[in-house]
Structure 1
Amino acid sequence: MSANVAFTFRVTGIEDEARAQAVVEELRELMRDESIGRQVTVGIRQEDGVHVVTGGTDFPLSVSRAHLWCPEFEKSVAWYAKEAAPSAVCAVEWSYPDEQR
């Protein structure tokens, strides 16, 4: 069964701008691998002088077997981010628009 899901993520603990850009590239690769590259925005923000990578869906995605996919996707976000910045800390927040009606 599929579900409509939306998500945002934040990656903190990044040492410098070069590492932040590397995290962006890694996460864009993940989005392409998951075939959602055109539906997810990924970028860098500065918060109190610290580089933070943020991103999320531009609109809800229809995901088959979302109850299995979502936890695995969270693990993948962390793994890809840590490939570029070993000290990275990742947080993913989910929303389910169909349940909010």
Structure 2
Amino acid sequence: MSVNIDLEITVTGPLDAEQAERIADALNDVAQDEGIQHDISFVVDEWEGRIEVVGGTEYPLIITRFGQWQPTFESRVHGAVQAVALAAKADIKWGYPDDED
């Protein structure tokens, strides 16, 4: 069964610009490996003096077997972030647009 999913990821922590760029590249690689690179991309942003990495879908993703895919995807996201900066934290938010009515 397929599910429509909104996705937003924000990486925060004590990041410098070089770490943030490396994290954005790593997360873009994860997206490409998952075949969602056309649906989400990650960029470095500065918010209230903090550097963070952000990415989100503009339109819902259609995911088959979401319950099986989600934990693996989240693990890959956290692994990619931790490989660059151990103190960084990835906040993954899922939305379910079909349930919003």
What TM-score do you get using the length of structure 2 for normalisation? 0.93
Alignment of 1:56-71 (within 5 A): 56-71=56-71
The corresponding residue for 1:24 is 24
* Structure-1 residue corresponding to 2:88: 88
Separation of aligned partners in 2, 1:2 and 1:12: 31
How many Å separate the matches in 2 of 1:79 and 1:7?
A: 18
The one-letter code sitting in structure 1 at the alignment partner of 2:78 is A
Deviation per CA, 1:18-42: give whole Å up to 9, x if none.
Answer: 0000000000000000000011021
Q: Which amino acid aligns with 1:94?
A: W
- Conserved in 2, the CA contact under 8 Å of 1:14 and 1:20? no
- The answer to whether the 8 A contact 1:41-1:58 is kept is no
Paired residues, what number?
101
After superposition, the C-alpha distances for 1:40-71 in whole angstroms (9 at most, x for unaligned) are 02111112222110111121011011112122
What is the correspondence of 1:13-52 to structure 2 with a 5 Å cutoff?
13-52=13-52
Q: Which runs of 5+ in 2 are unaligned?
A: none
Structure 1 portions without partners, runs of 5+: none
* Structure 1 stretches of 4+ moved >2 Å: none
* Counterpart Cα distance in 1 of 2:79 and 2:46: 22
Instruction: Report how far residue 78 of structure 1 moved.
Output: 0.8
RMSD: 1.1
The 8 Å contact of residues 8 and 94 in structure 2, kept in 1 or not, is answered as yes
Is the 2:31–2:41 contact (alpha carbons within 8 Å) kept by the matching residues of 1? no
Identical residues among aligned pairs (%): 31
